[in-house]
């Protein structure tokens, strides 16, 4: 009887020891799996879909990327230094108005690259530019207000506006033609930017011009969103070809 009890006790001890060792191995295995997925616990599957040719803050690398894969000349520019452009056509469909902006002076403030990568699935290059401020002074803003059954009512003066926005360009990763075919959108951080209209527009005595100005002032966010249908690609190409690489692309917003 005593020998049977001793035998049973030995079996229990052996079973406990084996089970304890197994748990220890399982814990080590889980720890190894956890480390292999990254210290932050995030999955790398999303990054596998994108190719990041340059760090966002490495403008020299981004310039080289465009210069090596596209037909352009590397350039550089500094914030707070003005840039001149001749013409942009901007439309305000809700307000039945069109601006032909002549002699623009454009100044960027606090600009930075917010995104720069290639989507492997679409082979599109995505580039986002964040701007704390973009001042656009238009010396001659030619306004045409479209009236049913009549010639447009016209007025002309200066416009001075400062936008806070982020542009995102999605372009086929196919050389200069891809850059020229970029689809550009804007996220307007300040939907009511500070602006000034010259008196020939703001204080015009014509009733139709007065109604136009009042309508715009009563719905500035919509006016800004509509203007950026052409201003977004316009300002994107200004930045790209002054700060990064000049492709010789002249965007005017003309249809």
Q: How many CB atoms lie within 10 A of CB 155?
A: 21
Closest by alpha carbon to 224, among 137, 169, 162? 162
CB 212 within 8 A of CB 219: no
Residue 2 has pLDDT above 70, yes or no: no
pLDDT confidence tier of residue 3, bands split at 50, 70 and 90: very low
Size of the chain, expressed as the number of residues it contains: 255
Work out the angle between the directed axes of helices 220-239 and 207-218 (0-180°, nearest 10).
80
63: which residues sit within 8 A by CB, 6+ positions away? 74, 75, 76, 244, 245
CA torsion, ordered 154, 160, 166, 169, to nearest 10 deg: 50
Question: Is 3.50.50.60 the CATH number for 53-246?
Answer: no
DSSP state of 173: S
Closest by alpha carbon to 228, among 172, 178, 164? 164
- Tell me the pTM: 0.80
Contacts 24+ apart (CB under 8 A), 44-50: 48/120, 49/119, 49/120, 49/121, 50/117, 50/118, 50/119, 50/120
Opening angle at CA 146, ends 140 and 151, nearest 5: 95
Per-residue pLDDT of 70-80, as tens digits, reads: 789 999 999 99
Mean pLDDT of the chain: 85
Element (H, E) at 105: strand 97-119
Per-residue pLDDT of 8-21, as tens digits, reads: 333 334 344 444 44
Domain ranges (residues) in the chain? 1-42, 53-246
Report the C-alpha gap between 68 and 89 in whole angstroms: 32
Per-residue pLDDT of 8-57, as tens digits, reads: 333 334 344 444 444 444 444 443 343 333 333 333 455 789 999 999 99
Report the C-alpha gap between 8 and 10 in whole angstroms: 5
> Per-residue pLDDT averaged across 201-225, rounded?
97
pLDDT confidence tier of residue 174, bands split at 50, 70 and 90: confident
- How high is the pLDDT of residue 128? 98
């Amino acid at each position: 009887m005593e020998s049977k009890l001793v035998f049973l006790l030995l079996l229990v001890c052996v079973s406990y020891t084996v089970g304890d060792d197994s748990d220890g191995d399982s814990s080590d295995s889980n720890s190894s799996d956890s480390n292999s997925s990254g210290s932050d616990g995030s999955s790398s599957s999303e990054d596998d879909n994108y190719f990041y040719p340059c760090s966002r803050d490495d403008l020299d690398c981004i310039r080289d990327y465009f210069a090596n894969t596209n037909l352009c000349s590397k350039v550089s520019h500094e914030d707070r230094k003005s840039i001149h452009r001749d013409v942009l056509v901007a439309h305000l469909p809700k307000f039945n108005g069109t601006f032909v902006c002549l002699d623009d002076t454009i100044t960027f403030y606090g600009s930075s690259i917010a995104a720069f990568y290639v989507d492997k699935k679409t082979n599109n290059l995505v580039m986002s530019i964040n701007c704390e401020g973009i001042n656009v002074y238009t010396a001659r803003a030619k306004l045409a207000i479209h009236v049913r059954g009549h010639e447009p009512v016209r007025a002309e003066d200066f416009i001075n506006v400062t936008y806070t926005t982020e542009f995102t360009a999605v372009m086929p990763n196919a050389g200069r033609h891809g850059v020229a075919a970029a689809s550009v959108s804007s996220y307007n951080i300040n939907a009511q930017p500070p602006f000034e209209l010259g008196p020939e527009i703001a204080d015009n005595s014509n009733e139709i011009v007065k109604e136009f100005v009042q309508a715009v002032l009563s719905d500035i966010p919509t006016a800004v969103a509509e203007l950026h249908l052409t201003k977004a690609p316009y300002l994107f190409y200004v930045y790209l070809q002054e700060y990064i690489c000049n492709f010789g692309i002249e965007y005017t917003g003309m249809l």
